[in-house]
Amino acid sequence: MSAEKLIETYKSDLQNYSLEQLRYISVEGVWSIGQMYDHVILVAIEYLDNVESCAKSKEEQKLGKTDFGEHIYKIGGFPPIKIKLPDELNTPPSNSDSKEDLMSRLDQVMQRLGKWESRVDAINPNYKVNHGGFGWLNAREWYDLVGMHFRHHLRQKRELEQKVNNL
């Protein structure tokens, strides 16, 4: 499923949550649905910023991906595991956005994806930006990572939805 179709799914599902469901935290340390939405949006923006950085680069990078980076691109996505970030990178996402705010932010991600869709393959594949876990990624790889990341969070989204269905 393309990143655009995934985001459309997220947008469609967002319509079905009450504000209480969106902000519900079942236990300390587990995100609300709203926090998960905030996270995937912030990460998509970061990844698209890196597409833009690759496009503006003038310096080729000979280094490549880490072994884990090679693996996720080979399989086309993240393995079905929970990934715990180091504490310094694991600040809880915002839990205060309204449905309208989240919808608007998803629309902005869609617009940026659309902007780069026809241009990303024309960017020199040796213009890269370093990802802390995956190594040096080019514009196409950063662009593809947006969809991979949204897809990775679908399982978490389903788990969180099960927790709020009884509210």
In this prediction, residues 28-39 reach a mean pLDDT of 94
CATH number of the domain that residue 97 is part of: 1.20.120.450
**Residue 89 predicted with pLDDT over 70:** no
Query: Between residues 92 and 141, which one has the greater pLDDT?
Result: 141
How many domains would you assign to the chain? 1
The per-residue pLDDT for 54 is 98
7-14 average pLDDT score: 96
Question: What pLDDT was estimated at residue 29?
Answer: 86
- Report in angstroms the alpha-carbon separations of 49 from 12, 69, 91, 94, 165: 25, 19, 20, 20, 35
Q: DSSP secondary-structure letter at 128? A: E
Domain extent at residue 35: 3-164
Q: What is the mean pLDDT of residues 31-45?
A: 96
**Where residue 80 falls among pLDDT bands split at 50, 70, 90?**
confident
